[in-house]
Structure 1
């Protein structure tokens, strides 16, 4: 099965805005999403950019205003300033990687749905996606049995090493922000480029 390589931060509002649509596109075109969570604090400085928290206040404010405009246009609920916006990334990123590994083993559960639920929990519901009890609930909702074991795997050295490899791979491939999608090695940066991505899927 052909794939879509999906580089993103589990704390990115723009990633959240495009996540449900990406899932629908992948299903419609028979593509498997390869989830590649990354840490923008690692990838952005390496390409000469800045992590969100280090950007000038005016730029951060504009970015949020633009996200709210996009949300209104798409009809996707988005909180302006969730209390839990900033926080640890090891568990929310690791749980997606662990979910993808579980799916590869043939275990029950939908990693595309899990990824979406993590993003919704933060940007729609303002839940703490670094809280194991919240993550366990999200795992169960996405069809994963034994969420405690999945959380343990998410925080394991092997999964956290994969998260680091994703960052290095993103830098090598020229990922300039989140979300970035690759279709047959062609990059598309930003949820506002999903129309172009869909045309690429239809052509391929």
Structure 2
């Protein structure tokens, strides 16, 4: 039986933490019966709207904290048995083209294939994915008709959809990626996944009791 609870994973391909968090979602789906809705947002737009900055910028010059963050990431990778992650040497990558492509892929019914390829070429076999020719070659190698999606991504409805999703995320409290919504409850960061799952279980129980 499908879980009636609305649960969202808001992501930008430029966030390594969103990549890592997403790999843990299938296990949560199996345990809870929930299905995450994948919501593309533009992280640069969120940062601008909230006066936030990337961890690379915010941690610059701080003693010990970057080292701890790196240690925490390794713990997460071990906990979830993640083997394919590689740091992208071209980071940070401008993801506007990638994220418009994600919305276009949703409109065209190609999202799952596009999503997996994008993460593969960003964080498993990392490339400079804000270079158009690199971008095209990468997706072509993954068997995707990327020229069709590039053209679709330039249409106004795709651009508006990405802006609207990003604006909505900020209005609901988002300030970075990955952000999760369980019903109306917001969680930020891969380290909140245990709380995300706990909230799914609690809210599902409440929904069931109301309809019993």
Fold equivalence (TM over 0.5): yes
Q: Which residue of the partner structure matches residue 105 of structure 2?
A: 99
CA-to-aligned-CA distance 1:39-92 (integer Å, 9 cap, x gap): 332212433422345324245844445323422332213324x22322231221
Q: 1:116 to 1:197 in 2, by over 3 A?
A: farther
Q: How far did residue 99 of structure 1 move?
A: 1.9
> Equivalent residues in 2 for 1:18-167 (5 A)?
18-26=21-29, 29-52=32-55, 54-58=57-61, 61-62=66-67, 63-77=69-83, 78-80=85-87, 82-103=88-109, 109=110, 111-112=111-112, 114-130=114-130, 131-138=135-142, 140=143, 146-167=145-166
User: Structure 1: which 5+ runs fail to align?
Assistant: 104-108
Moved over 6 A (4+): none
Q: 1:121 to 1:28 in 2, by over 3 A?
A: farther
CA contact (8 A) 2:10 2:178 kept: yes
Rg (Cα) greater in structure: 2
RMSD over equivalenced CA pairs, Å: 2.8
Q: Which residue of the partner structure matches residue 188 of structure 1?
A: 187
Q: 1:26 to 1:101 in 2, by over 3 A?
A: farther
CA contact (8 A) 1:14 1:190 kept: yes
> Equivalent residues in 2 for 1:167-178 (5 A)?
167-178=166-177
Please identify, of 41-50 and 85-94, the stretch whose mean Cα deviation from structure 2 is larger. Answer: 41-50
Please report the TM-score for the alignment, with normalisation by the length of structure 2.
Answer: 0.74
Q: How many residues were matched structurally?
A: 192
Q: How far did residue 27 of structure 1 move?
A: 5.9
Q: How far did residue 112 of structure 1 move?
A: 4.2
User: Structure 2: which 5+ runs fail to align?
Assistant: 205-212
